[in-house]
Amino acid sequence: MTLTHIRRGSGRPLLLVHGLGAGWRSWAPILDGLAERREVIAVDLPGFGETPPLSGEVSIAALTDSVADFIRDQGLDGVSTVGQSMGGRIVLELARRGVGGDTVALDPGGFWSHRELVVFGATLRPSIALVRALRGMLPALLSSPVGRTLLLAQLSARPWALSKETVLPDVRGLADSPATGAAMDALTKGPTQQGAPAGTPPGRVTIGWGRRDLVTVPKQAARAIELFPDAVLHWFERCGHFPQWDVPREAARLILDSTE
């Protein structure tokens, strides 16, 4: 499978892997800033954006395979990788496999306790069902600070302060992407993330976490660092699950400073 992707900018390549939502457009708030210094390659995972769904089972392993194949087919061996949420888990899995170069994972999934995983599924699935039910009304609802607060309180620390243009692609992606349900099953019913012993990742590993993340809650950061002992942990203050929404300048700076 060929992943739909965009390339912008010039310089050392940087591969971006999104989470549940809009595909590569999830990175729109920081894409241009990154492209001022790097060649940015942002992919649509299978079943998101414009990439067709997988023909077989959807699992984190299979989604990671699709990105590993893309890296190989595009001649991007050693590329620095950046992912957020499910994409953060995927780039950490690539690092565990020894694929890529420097790795930046923003609020990655896969480090839940059993109780946290139950809460994650029980809260996010109804949210996805709600945005699907409100699909035609989303532009109007997200134009209002009150509407953004009601719909996005689980995802952003300050949803009222965001613009409709920032959040609408991801919210629509949750509603429209054919792989949303299967990817949720992979996250909630599949295995949790395995770690990488010290000295085994192919480059530096940086994990960024929002202090106010209600999806992958902050206490999970300690588990991530335990499993990836080489990783450097960066806390985003006043930030929820989407650093590219809540603290775009800080997120872009962390990515650029942590990758070569």
Tell me: pLDDT of 260 over 90.
Answer: no
Mean pLDDT of 197-218: 98
What pLDDT sits at residue 24?
Answer: 98
Angle at 246 between CA 215 and CA 224, to 5 degrees: 40
pLDDT in tens, 154-206: 999 999 999 999 999 999 999 999 999 999 999 999 999 999 999 999 999 99
Cβ count within 10 A of residue 173: 22
What pLDDT sits at residue 91?
Answer: 98
Query: pLDDT tier at 1 (50, 70, 90 boundaries)?
Result: confident
Q: How far is CA 183 from the centre of its chain?
A: 12
The Cα 174–Cα 89 span in angstroms is: 18
Cβ pair 48, 24 in contact under 8 A: no
Mean pLDDT of 44-55: 97
3-state secondary structure at position 28: helix
Cβ pair 43, 67 in contact under 8 A: yes
Tell me: pLDDT of 33 over 80.
Answer: yes
Tell me: pLDDT of 59 over 90.
Answer: yes
Angle between helices 114-133 and 164-176 (to 10 degrees): 100
Question: How high is the mean pLDDT of the chain?
Answer: 97
Q: Is the pTM higher than 0.95? A: yes
- CA dihedral in degrees (95, 66, 252, 13; nearest 10)? 80
Cβ pair 81, 100 in contact under 8 A: yes
The Cα 74–Cα 111 span in angstroms is: 30
Tell me: pLDDT of 115 over 90.
Answer: yes
H/E element holding 15? strand 13-17
The Cα 152–Cα 173 span in angstroms is: 14
Mean pLDDT of 233-250: 98
Name, in order, each residue with C-beta under 8 angstroms of 168's C-beta and a sequence gap of 6 or more. Answer: 138, 139, 142
Q: How far is CA 86 from the centre of its chain?
A: 5
Name, in order, each residue with C-beta under 8 angstroms of 117's C-beta and a sequence gap of 6 or more. Answer: 188
Q: What is the DSSP letter of 163?
A: -
The Cα 123–Cα 205 span in angstroms is: 30
Mean pLDDT of 105-121: 95
Tell me: pLDDT of 106 over 80.
Answer: yes
Q: What percent of the chain has pLDDT over 90?
A: 98
Angle between helices 114-133 and 180-189 (to 10 degrees): 170
